[in-house]
Amino acid sequence: MEAVSHRPLLAAVVTTVVVLDQATKAAVRTSLAFGEHVPILSPLLSLQHTANRGIAWGMLSESTLRLPFMTAVSLVTFVALTAWFRRLGPDERPLAWTLSLLLGGALGNFVDRLLYREVTDFIAVSTGWAWPVFNVADVAITVGLVFFAGHIVRGHGVEPAA
């Protein structure tokens, strides 16, 4: 019953991430030709309209089982994150932020997979490493994972409070 206090946070973060993600992807799909590259902070940051048919770094992009597999993984992820979120105690607000970012990012990319059978990516960072082009949902997932790692490093573990 105490976890109810985190529900507005979940709704606000997930909604913000999904709306921002879908709005930016729609803007890219309508404003940039596929493959078009627009420097923003040259040479570090640019917009580049690409698509990823697979998962991270394009893995499974050629597999005939990619959509059923990614749909199943997404649904399991949604159920697991939601169940974990519901078990959070009132003092676990940082973990509520973390789970909300992860859920929002996963949902943003899931919407693309359902509607377009691929995920629109557009944020290109030139670091000298082979780094994939990404999107707002990917940023939310990455920030959520960094927060989660910090949670673990601080010794909180992965079990919700009793």
Residues forming the active site = 121, 138
Q: What is the dihedral of CA 90, 93, 96, 98, to 10 degrees?
A: -160
Q: Name the residue with tokens 């997404």.
A: 74
Q: Which amino acid is at 141?
A: I
Q: Name the residue with tokens 């399991």.
A: 76
**Is the Cα torsion angle 8, 10, 131, 65 positive or negative in sign?**
negative
Name residue 45's beta-bridge partners: 41, 125
| End-to-end Cα, the chain, rounded Å | 12
Question: For residue 6, which of 100, 75, 81, 106 has the smallest C-alpha distance?
Answer: 100
Question: For residue 31, which of 19, 41, 23 has the smallest C-alpha distance?
Answer: 23
Q: Name the residue with tokens 């940039």.
A: 32
